[in-house]
Structure 1
Amino acid sequence: MTTVLIVDDHSIFRSGLRADLDAGLTVLGEAATVDEAVALVDALRPEVVLLDVHLPGGSGGGGAEVLRRSAALLEHVRFLALSVSDSAEDVVGVIRAGARGYITKGSSGAEVSNAVLAVAGGDAVFSPRLAGFVLDAFGALAGEQAESTEELDRLSAREREVMRLIARGYSYKEVAAELYISIKTVESHVSAVLRKLQLSSRHELTAWATARKLL
């Protein structure tokens, strides 16, 4: 029996989905908000979470926020997004956050059940018209990662350390204390980093590092 948690803020949809799922799937529970979902994922450890993309609660991040807050469990719990939305932004957002698939609510009970079993078995599953979004997004992501690697290769090991600390919000004094160097040396490294990355301020540096998940 494959265990499932249903996360959706509409009780009627949750009830209907539970009734339509294959008898070989065991629904351990239901959640209607981001916070409820995070708590139940941690408490129940289902094999698959059927996750709506747009959820109330938390910090407003919806399904992607549930994934981010459950990141430590992604090795054991698999997430399958199930949403009325078929926008590229929603699809790419939850997949990048860690979902193993994305299907639309127009899917039949049998299709959802088969998708759950496939994801539980380690496969990735997408509604046909959504697969192109994922391929395009990850092709772009691979390009961004290659670009980031090339840019980082311009920096020395010490400059990379300084860059990450500054991007995390450390003051020059705190960076100096952390790395056991002088404030003047920190200033010199920051100037070199900004020049090599063609940035003009620490705010731009923070945005650059955040976009590339270098923090």
Structure 2
Amino acid sequence: MSSTESGSPAPEIRVVIVDDHAIFRSGLKADLDPNIIVAGEAGTVEAAVAVIAAVRPDVVLLDVHLPGGLGGGGREVLAGSAPLLGSTRFLALSVSDAAEDVVSVIRAGARGYVTKTISGAEISDAVRRVAGGDAVFSPRLAGFVLDAFGTAPSDIADDELDRLSARELEVMRLIARGYSYKEVAKELFISIKTVETHVSAVLRKLQLSSRHELTRWAAERRLL
């Protein structure tokens, strides 16, 4: 069993594996450290959203391209699991190393992105790091995220956040992750007009002029 540097057993981490290839899920389970417990599996968007909601794991190992749903793949799973994003962390695990795939799932709320060339020891380490709150990327992929979101994040400016209501914060995060006004309205069960009103208020209060500036602002403060 894995242990911490002090010699005590490492805490168990509960994960859900989301991938449409059963043979890959089986191989991944066999490669994970004993203290990483597979609490559920799924092979489609719909099944993934359901099992994540039921199990509420610490970490979801999420393939980017999945069948089912509206064709959004891993991003759609993240959108469907939005209420759990604070307590469950998502690590994208894909054969794709395309910049658009990396940026898309990070915008949607994933905490990291690694390719399937990773070893068993490396994926176990990545799971532990993501569970602990770190952002984890395969080396070549980190540059895509920096290019999209800016460089080193700064501390959250509490006085700026205090200007926003709870609903404005929800809208701000979704808009900054790349959601359309229609998608935000559907996610929060409000009208598109109400979304537009909240976005205008957010931009005014934060003294920003566009969605692009809002995305950069949120990314620099680790709010995505």
Give TM-score, length-normalised by structure 1. Answer: 0.66
What does residue 36 of structure 2 align with?
25
Aligned-residue sequence identity (percent) comes to 69
Match of residue 107 from structure 1:
118
| Matched residue, 1:151 | none
Aligned equivalent of 1:118: 129
Structure 2 counterpart of 1:58:
69
Partner of 1:198: none
- Spell out structure 1 runs of 4+ moving beyond 3 A: none
Report how many aligned residue pairs link the two structures: 152
The residue type equivalent to 1:43 in the other structure is A
Correspondence 1:96 to 2:107: yes
State the alpha-carbon separation in 1 of the partners of residues 131 and 150 from structure 2.
25
| CA-CA distance at 1:25 after TM superposition | 0.3
Q: SS of 2:150's equivalent?
A: helix
Q: Distance in 2 between matches of 1:110 and 1:3?
A: 17
The amino acid of 2:42's aligned partner reads A
Partner of 1:13: 24
Q: Select the structure of larger CA radius of gyration.
A: 1
- Distance (Å, rounded) in 2 between the aligned partners of 1:40 and 1:5: 8
Q: Report the Cα offset of residue 24 of structure 1.
A: 1.0
TM-score normalised by structure 2 residue count: 0.63
**DSSP 3-state at the match of 1:79:** strand
Q: Which has the higher helix share?
A: 1
SS of corresponding position for 2:68: coil
- Among 45, 65, 68, the alignment partner of 1:34 is 45
CA RMSD of aligned residues (A): 2.6
Match of 1:83 in 2: 94
2:16 corresponds to which letter in structure 1?
L
The alpha-carbon deviation at position 69 of structure 1 amounts to 1.0
* SS of match in other structure, 1:26: strand
Secondary structure of 2:69's partner?
coil
Task: Give the unaligned 5+ runs of structure 1.
Answer: 143-166, 169-177, 180-192, 194-207
